[in-house]
Amino acid sequence: MLRNVPGSIRIARLLGIDIRIHFSWFLIFFIVVLSLADSFGAENVTWSDTKSFVIAVIAAVLFFLSVLGHELAHAVVARRFGMDVSSITLFVLGGVANLAKEPPSAISEFLMAAAGPATSIVIGLIGIALAVFAPSLIQSAPALQPIQPVAKYIGTINLYLAAFNLLPGFPLDGGRVFRSIVWGILKDRLAATRIAARGGQVVAALLVLAGVVLAFRLDATINGLWLAFIAYFLWNAATSTLQQERITSVVSGAKVGPLMTTDFKSTPPGVMVGQVIRELV
């Protein structure tokens, strides 16, 4: 789990948890707003550019609030199992909850990891349902017409978010669910971590392959590059987890005694500092 991410600022405090925004979040927020403004304008030709932009800003804010809800779900379940959550940081790839320690058991990790995607699925289904029933509301109140495209976007993007997060690659939520299952079967957290991290590397490699196909075969260069960027982040996180697991495996059986320094030198209080330095150096 990550500590307070460098370059982030605190914007609020909910349920005793600091809500922070990394500077990279502003970049992705700007990109999402521009993309939505263009999409809403194309789908609703009667809207002015200003209206499309304002609705896009509202939709983008709702999307990132749903990402925050996803992370808060992780945090609430984590606290039920005695894990302190000091902060949640929104950044370019979504959000991350800062846990003080790893889950104490396989079942606690399973429930904590599953809580986020489950929340996204619920939000997604509510959004889709609202989009389906919005036309009947619009007939009696035309001013509510923007509800339909915004609800459709929020519903769709949250279902995509849940599906992506459930990919079985550590440290994605799906990777943590996978690790908890392997942990429960093997009764060995380190072995489960190693297997799940390898899964993360496999998922990262497949995302790179998908990005190449999008960029060169389907003329979706931006989407392809975005997938490659996510894959790079995932590969690094999985590799870092593997390295930490190796270090833990090596030192877990070591005793402190052989690593301690027991040959201490003492110096009378009247000796000059310069002499002590010359003798020791």
Please name which of 32, 50, 70, 69 lies closest in space to residue 146, comparing C-alpha atoms. Answer: 50
Cα-based torsion angle of the residue sequence 30, 35, 38, 44 in order, rounded to the nearest 10 degrees: -110
Structure tokens at 15: 């349920």
109 included as an active-site residue = no
Closest listed residue to residue 236, CA positions, set 273, 276, 207, 279: 207
Residues 6+ away with beta carbon under 8 Å from 50? none
Q: How many helices (H) and strands (E) does the chain have?
A: 8, 4
11 three-state secondary structure: strand
Pair 200, 232: CB distance under 8 Å: no
Q: Is 12 strand, coil or helix?
A: strand
Judging by beta carbons within 10 Å of its beta carbon (0-12, 13-18, 19+), is residue 250 exposed, middle or buried?
Answer: exposed
Token pair in block for residue 29:
């927020």
Rounded CA-CA distance 87/102 in Å is: 15
Pairing of strands 17-22, 94-99: unpaired
Nearest CA-CA partner of 115 in 123, 126, 125, 105: 123
Residue with tokens 């999307």: 63
Catalytic residue of the set 43, 71, 109, 279? 71
Tell me which residues are annotated as active site: 71
